[in-house]
Structure 1
Amino acid sequence: MTSHFDEKQHDVQVELEKSLAQSFYQVGVSLQNNEDNFSAHLANLHDVLDKIITLGKFQFVKERFGLSGYELKLIALVFIQEIEPDSLTPYLGLTWFEQGPYLSLDKLLVLSHQPARKRAILNAGICHSLAFRWGLLQSNTQLGLTQNIRLLPELRAFLQSKEIRFTAEGLFSYPVTKSVDRAFSVFKEQLGDLESCQFYKINNQDMTFKRWYVEQLAATHSALVSYIPVEAPGDTGSASVIHGLAALLLASGGKKVFVVVPSWVERHFSSDYDFMDIVKRQKVLCFFFSNDAMSESLLNFCEITPSLPSIDVLTQVWIKLSAQAAINSEDRNKAELVASRYPVPIYKMSAIASEAQKQSGVDFWQALKSRCLKEQRKGPQELASLMEPRFSLNDMVLSEGVAQQLHELVSRINYQTELKSRLPRFTDGCKALFWGRPGTGKSMAAEAIAGELQLPIYIVNLANIASKWIGETEKHLAKLFDEAERYNAILMFDEADAVFAKRSDVESSHDKNANMGVSYLLQRMERYSGLLLLSTNLKANLDEAFLRRFHSVIEFTLPNPSQRLAIWERVLGNNADKTLNDSVSGLAKRFELSAAQIINITEVALLQSLILNQSRISKENIAKALLRELSKQHEGFMAQHEIKVWLEGN
């Protein structure tokens, strides 16, 4: 940080430092040789000290830390001994390279006042003065008359140069100015008077949000902001925190500093009374905590509870961030859709909008939805796997009844805001069960719905959810639902009967724990505000209490002949030769296959045609692949005749 002290004053300080070093040396020589003019040299030293401590930097230190003029003289003496170590030679009897460039407290007291007054100074408690308590003056071990005294490194840098540099290993980050985020405007009406309090508790456990929130408070109050690492760097005591605060005050240039305090530092504020006595002297420092266990009687803190903005408010924020000159009703609807569907953290909204605006040639709202969806794909990866939607409902061949029910699921999410406004008892979220034989399109339908809604979909990893240990399943489920809700993700429990099974009679502790897990699932399903999908091959295996809670229970059956024909034609595309194309209708009528089986057969047949260097898939390729697929179900022998008849064109 560039110093606020001008160049002219800096030049004056340099000249006075030279004079002080020279006087320092002369006093040392006089003391060493027991000369009669010692008092005159000491008086000259104090004349120079009186001048140097009136300079701007020294006066800033005095005022900022509430020091006495005498403490300031001690600091000036230690400062000159550190930047001009050769001036110590007469006191040490050795070169400073051998002894070290420090003087003991005893020698400093002699130099800083008449020797006869040393006992009175000690009795007055100089060792407990603010200069030592703040760590501006330090020793390596417990302070005593024989201990060498040195300056806080940041204080030496402050007095010597125009800049203070914080090391990467330092406890506090360098205080910086943050720009105002336009998204923060939603909290302005919630803010109270920040001038009347020094300690604040932010009722929010998201450390990233808390950091952003304090940055914005600082920006709107013309303050600087500084951070303490979330993880404690080793065994850090109160002294290290105090020294860090002292460095922070020096670097602030007199401006107010807002400090974000992680939980590991809070114990010093809660239990160390001497620490608190020092901290409370500095009203320029404001501290922001998040721990509910803080001692209100000790800190006398103020609480800040940032209320989550409504959909209407978030809509206005997106409109503001769009930076569009004119907003029509269509834009407003698009903004409302983004606000309701993509609950991205408010501290990321500005960055996401900025990224969307950089996509030239793309509609802003479409680009914004894509960026929001990308942000939401950072959900509960260890408990569920992300599935990239590859389909839409138009890619599926469905019966009219199933298609209608799936479109209703999509519409329930799309019109959720309007439904809530017109139906007072409308509950958030939607729950649906897909059931039917394997390969009938249950998983594909889930993907298609995610594609239609442009929402992330997480396929729940049942192996990581279910646990034999008491209480573990509930913990895993709680984390899964919380994370999915945070990202407004679609949750898909595939083969759901593994977790959502019927509750059994209690015959053992295992049965009791399993039933408790099912009961917990019922509760979380009721409260889940997103889209929850379950798929199972056997609906009868599910607990009836679950079935009553579904908005839709959709049966996926094997496609009929006309649907199979449509699937064959769509999957084969232009890869079939003329003979195969002419016989696809008979293939669809003769073999009762699921969509998944048709896809598998086509893939195997295409591979065979490539191996045989054929340009198109032939009937023979399909016949071999078909026989292999049916053999999986032990139907190969019975199907051979049907396949032969189909090959012969009958």
Structure 2
Amino acid sequence: MVVQSDEAQLELEKVLARSFYQTGVALQNNEESLGDSLLKLNDVLNRVIALDKFRFVKACFGLSCSELKLIALVFIQEIEPDCLTPYLGLTWYEHGPYLSLDKLLLLSNPSSQKRTMLNSGIYHKHAFKWGLFQSQEQLGLTQSVRLLPELLSFLQAKEVLFSESCVASYPYNTSVDCAFSWFKGQQSLIDNNRFCVIDDDDINFIRWYVEQLANAQSALVSCMPFDMPSEVAKTTIIKSLSALLLASGGKKVFVILPKWVSRYLVVDSEQFELLKTQRNLYFFFSNEAQVSALSNICAFTPKAPTIDALAQIWLELSNRHAPSTEDRNNARQVAIRYPVPIYKMSDIAFEALEQPSSQFWQVLKSACLKEQQKGPEGLATLTESRFKLKDMVLSEGVNQQLHELVSRINYQSELKSRLPRFTEGCKALFWGRPGTGKSMAAEAIAGELQLPIYVVNLANIASKWIGETEKHLAKLFDEAERYNAVLMFDEADAVFAKRSEVESSHDKNANMGVSYLLQRMERYSGLLLLSTNLKANLDEAFLRRFHSVVEFTLPDPSQRLSIWKRVIGSNASEELLTGIEGLAKRFELSAAQIINITETALLQSLMLNQTSIKRENIAKALLRELSKQHEGFMAQHEIKAWLEGN
């Protein structure tokens, strides 16, 4: 390889431009020295293609010297267009603005070599297969020729600038992610395979996985868009890969290919064979790619990390040089409770490390919970847990049942290790009148567990996606399991009522949806809650599937008094406080009703510029609340008696 300074290379290119120009003059004047001019031109071409940048292009694409000289001539006419001036009056310039391929072949090669190239099929040469030449129309011998833009920028400035038509990202490298340490033993699967299918549905995981593989082998990475661009020609893919090779600087490039690219490779086996000749490109497909028709494809499934492995990764990310038993317990708890994608673990840990060391695990748990709060769009509503069980006024029996549900999740790994037939997951049914605390209890349990909660209205699913219920339920459960979410199915009786006789296609679809939902419920490994106002409407066989059935009743007088005091807080006047006990005894209200009454009474007091809630405010709000259930008229006497202190 001839290594020369930039100034020397520039001077040699000027010599080539002059020789190109002088050959044109000799042609224009029909000079006898034309043969000498052609020989001199070829001598300069041989010197130019010996430059390091041309040698690099030759090695990249497996080109012959004849192809390389042709590239050099096309290059010089693009950067020094004045050298074409003598050719303007010749028939050689009939298809401008540059010389045709036929004439460039004649100038860059002796006639015998030109004939050999044409006889062997000029378009089967690698320079043409890799799309290094292009034309405004279909490339032909009589068409003017230009270089691939990325090749032109490389030869001109040794810097590859990707054109808008390039569908590959510029090759890049990433830093080492310690979370990838779990997969290091699996790297040997691809060492001898340049075409791989990674069996995983999460394209972000595939990208991260390939990036880390590339890092381990000092390779670069490039991706093609996963949404197919409009009007992509087969040649666009090859030209984009050519740009990658030029930009890689001779390094390996791990290319992540989406589903739509694989279709092009299956159809055009010639392109696939071309890729096999290039040893610096490694291709990775997702499991959606249609690659069954391609040979020598290595398909493998990355082995999912165990809980112990995830706990160890969290410990490493915590930067604890001498982790304590408490650190190890916290790491294991995070690994079990928050199955965040492994490729996000380092970013989440970095966020927690920005806080004081003593707060690391608590901040980490909050960050993991935030990451998991991404409910399936259109299927469930993500509800932020605002409560814990201590915020509720519950009977002793209900309180114990709810704490048992929390403990079943917290001690799930211990139960599994001690009971060989233990089934992961926990299912509970909450039933009772509206406003008795079923939804709040679900939130409180999620708050205790520090897990996201997805609230699903089964009536909406059943009515919105008739005939497609299974598909949408599958998506819902897959997403919930991925994030270890608490699933709360509201209005369960809309779907799980006693089976009806099949009288229509709608009934058939509904029963099929119920059967599928039951199957997924049985397999759900997290906490699954269902609520209903009417337990009697549910199928008895369905009820036997629950670990716990919790009845939420209206609070008794002592419970109502506690609820009134909690809700009103410091907003009550002295005369109202003296009447709270009588209010709790006289009116059988749910917790939700007490909250509504208090909010309405406080609003009224603010509108009247009062500093606190008075009895009159509560009385008006109470009458309005009871009127919703047509009980207002009957309650007027009781409300009046309470106002008067009787």
User: What TM-score does the superposition give when structure 2 sets the normalisation length?
Assistant: 0.96
* 1:379 corresponds to 2:375: yes
Deviation at 1:391, TM superposition (A): 1.2
Q: Could you say which residue in structure 2 is the equivalent of 1:574? A: 570
1:269 correspondence with 2:258: no
Q: How has the CA–CA distance of structure 1 residues 393 and 287 changed in structure 2, closer, same or farther, with 3 Å as cutoff?
A: same
Cα drift, residue 193 of structure 1:
4.7
Q: Does 1:628 align with 2:638?
A: no
Distance 1:617 1:22 in 2: 97
Q: Which amino acid aligns with 2:86?
A: P
Residue by residue over 1:270-299, the C-alpha shift from the partner in whole angstroms, topping out at 9 and shown as x without a partner, is 231211221111011110012466445633
Q: Is the 8 A contact 2:2 2:51 kept in 1?
A: no
Aligned partners of 1:578 and 1:211: how far apart in 2?
65
Structure 1 residue 540: deviation in Å? 0.7
Describe how 1:16-55 pairs up with structure 2 within 5 A: 16-55=12-51
1:161 equivalent in structure 2:
157
Is the Cα–Cα contact under 8 Å of residues 78 and 150 in structure 1 kept in the other structure? yes
**Alignment counterpart, residue 432 of structure 1, candidates 428, 432, 448:** 428
1:551 Cα deviation after fit: 0.8
Change (3 A) 1:476 1:594: same
Answering whether residue 459 of structure 2 is matched by residue 466 of structure 1, we say no
Q: Determine which of 491, 494, 510 is the counterpart of 2:490.
A: 494
- Equivalent residues in 2 for 1:245-394 (5 A)? 245-291=241-287, 294-295=290-291, 298-360=294-356, 363-394=359-390
Residue 557 (str. 1) matches residue 553 (str. 2): yes
Deviates more, 1:84-93 or 1:106-115: 106-115
CA distance in 2, matches of 1:148, 1:242: 21
| Contact residue 20 and residue 49 of structure 1 kept, 8 A | yes
Moved more, 231-240 or 561-570: 231-240
Of residues 522, 525, 530, the one that matches 2:521 is 525
**Match status 1:514 vs 2:515:** no
The correspondence for 1:82, drawn from 78, 81, 89, is 78
C-alpha separation between the residues in 1 aligned to 2:369 and 2:552? 29
Matches of 1:223 and 1:115, distance apart in 2: 43
Measured in 1, the distance between the counterparts of 2:97 and 2:356 equals: 63
Counterpart Cα distance in 2 of 1:592 and 1:292: 59
Query: CA-to-partner distance for each residue in 1:171-224, whole Å, 9 max, x for gaps?
Result: 111111211111011111222253311111111121111111100000011111
1:65, distance to aligned residue in structure 2 (A): 1.3
Specify which of 609, 612, 616 is matched with residue 612 of structure 2: 616
> Which amino acid counterpart does residue 248 of structure 2 have in structure 1?
S
- Out of 521, 536, 542, the residue aligned to residue 532 of structure 2 is 536
Residue 507 (structure 1) shift? 2.5
What is the one-letter code of the residue matched to 1:418?
Answer: E
Q: Is the 8 A contact 1:228 1:261 kept in 2?
A: yes
> Which segment drifts farther, 88-97 or 33-42?
88-97
- 1:204-215 equivalences under 5 Å are 204-215=200-211
**2:444 aligned with 1:448:** yes
Q: CA deviation at 1:468?
A: 6.6
Contact 2:199–2:301 (CA under 8 A) maintained in structure 1: yes
Structure 1, 33-42 or 497-506: larger mean CA deviation: 497-506
Q: Deviation per CA, 1:15-50, whole angstroms, max 9, x where unpaired?
A: 111111101111111011110111111111111111
CA distance in structure 2 between the aligned counterparts of 1:470 and 1:590, rounded to whole angstroms? 47
Q: CA 1:151 to 1:11, structure 2 compared with 1: closer, same or farther past 3 Å? A: same
After TM superposition, the structure 1 = structure 2 runs for residues 405-416 of structure 1, keeping only pairs within 5 Å, are 405-416=401-412
Corresponding letter in the other structure for 1:154: E
SS in 2 for 1:467: helix
Q: Tell me, in whole angstroms, the C-alpha distance in 2 between the residues paired with 1:350 and 1:142.
A: 50
1:391-410 equivalences under 5 Å are 391-410=387-406
| Counterparts of 1:321 and 1:120, CA distance in 2 | 63
- Whether the 8 Å CA contact 2:462–2:510 is kept in 1: the answer is no
CA contact (8 A) 1:501 1:518 kept: no
How many correspondences in the alignment? 646
Work out the CA distance in 2 between the residues paired with 1:638 and 1:186: 70
Query: 1:130 and 2:126 equivalent?
Result: yes
Instruction: Give the % identical residues.
Output: 70
1:545-591: per-residue Cα shift (whole Å, max 9, x none)?
22111111000111111111111111121222222212211221121
Change (3 A) 1:424 1:112: same
Q: Name structure 2 gaps, 5 residues minimum.
A: none
Aligned pair in 2 of structure 1 residues 29, 631: CA closer, same or farther (>3 Å)? Answer: same
Contact 1:9/1:55 (<8 A) preserved: no
Whether the 8 Å CA contact 2:190–2:298 is kept in 1: the answer is: no
Find the aligned partners of 2:126 and 2:570 in 1 and give their Cα distance.
86
CA distance in 2, matches of 1:460, 1:486: 17
With over 3 angstroms needed to count, the CA separation of the structure-2 counterparts of 1:107 and 1:246, relative to structure 1, is: same
User: What is aligned with 1:639?
Assistant: 635
**Candidates 182, 188, 192, aligned match of 2:188:** 192
Q: Distance in 2 between matches of 1:303 and 1:322?
A: 34
1:174 aligns with 2:170: yes
Give 2:591's aligned residue.
Answer: 595
SS at match of 2:529: strand
CA contact (8 A) 1:503 1:518 kept: no
1:447 aligned counterpart, secondary structure: helix
* Contact in 2 for aligned 1:92/1:99 (Cα 8 Å): no
Cα distance change on mapping 1:96 and 1:453 into 2, 3 Å: farther
**Alpha-carbon shift at residue 109 of structure 1 (Å):** 2.0
Alignment check: 8 A CA contact 1:441 1:556 kept: yes
CA distance in 2, matches of 1:275, 1:166: 21
2: distance between equivalents of 1:604 and 1:353? 44
Higher mean alpha-carbon deviation, 451-460 vs 94-103, is at 94-103
Paired residue secondary structure (2:283)? strand
Task: Give the SS at the match of 1:274.
Answer: helix
Q: Using the alignment, how far apart are the partners of 1:316 and 1:44 within structure 2?
A: 69
Does 255-264 or 454-463 show the bigger shift?
Answer: 454-463
Q: Is the 8 A contact 2:2 2:50 kept in 1?
A: no
When the two chains are superposed, the root-mean-square deviation of aligned CA atoms in Å is: 2.1
Q: 1:476 aligns with which of 472, 476, 492?
A: 472
Question: TM-score under structure 1 normalisation?
Answer: 0.95
Provide the secondary structure at the position in 2 that maps to 1:347. helix
Given that 1:29 and 1:90 are in contact with CA atoms closer than 8 Å, whether structure 2 keeps it comes out as: yes
Is 1:89–1:96's contact at 8 Å kept on the other side of the alignment? no
1:123 Cα deviation from its structure 2 partner:
1.6
Instruction: Name which of structure 1's ranges 624-633 and 413-422 shifts more when overlaid on structure 2.
Output: 624-633
What amino acid sits opposite 1:345 in the alignment? P
Please state how far the C-alpha of 1:99 moved relative to its aligned partner. Answer: 7.0
How much has 1:514 moved relative to structure 2?
1.6
